[in-house]
Amino acid sequence: MKFFIDTADVAEIRDLAATGLVDGVTTNPSLVAKTGRDFFEVLREICDVVPGPVSAEVAATDFDTMLAEGQALAKLAANIVIKVPLTPDGLKACKALTDSGTKVNVTLCFSAAQAILAAKAGATYISPFVGRLDDIGSDGMELIADIVEIYQSYPHFTTEVLVASVRNVNHVIESAKMGADVATIPPGVLRAMYKHPLTDKGLDAFLADWAKTGQSILNQ
């Protein structure tokens, strides 16, 4: 499973990318707005830090403007992926951009039916929002299972399942068990994946035992 980081905070991206665990980045207008910085400057900087796919979302809702914005964003860097909403015009833009060789992430997916349409439109990634479904009492992970099952039934579908709106470590684990291709993870959730109380307890015991020896690995 590939890990994308869901943030536009360049400092966070640099820190996590240094671990070697980051395969890409997803952004959206809300995340970029939180930085208070220039939209294009932020995207260029992220693309320099992370060689993998970096999703940049269009702001328009009509086909012609979405296409024009997508084409403009695609010029920023070779690893830019254009993010479009799962609407009739968004899927039309997806098809046009895909046909021209641009990778597209179709976002705001909340049903298996929508995911089928995105795959038929040639989307590189489909982004089902599991956390937002959980918020309204639906089972977000059930949607992931449905999409993975459908896509696996049709080998000519090349769209990757990119699990979005991830709220906790369990979302990542369940997505991996279901065979999702990518999870885009907030920095805090990725850091939480390191943690287990028995790891901390074991490390404390090892360090205490080592201290008793009075030795140093470096002073040999």
Q: Which residues are catalytic?
A: 83
d(CA 189, CA 163): 13
Chain segment 54-113, per-residue pLDDT in tens: 999 999 999 999 999 999 999 999 999 999 999 999 999 999 999 999 999 999 999 999
**What is residue 29's predicted lDDT score, i.e. its pLDDT?**
87
Structure tokens at 15: 């820190």
**What is residue 91's predicted lDDT score, i.e. its pLDDT?**
98
Nearest one of 127, 134, 189, 113 to 162, comparing CA atoms: 127
Taking phi over 0 as left and psi of -120 to 50 as alpha, with beta for the rest, 124 belongs to alpha
pLDDT at 220 over 90: no
Structure tokens at 157: 């579908």
Chain segment 109-168, per-residue pLDDT in tens: 999 999 999 999 999 999 999 999 999 999 999 999 999 999 999 999 999 999 999 999
pLDDT at 189 over 90: yes
**What is residue 50's predicted lDDT score, i.e. its pLDDT?**
96
Q: Average pLDDT, stretch 181-206?
A: 97
**What is residue 219's predicted lDDT score, i.e. its pLDDT?**
83
| pTM for this model (two decimals) | 0.94
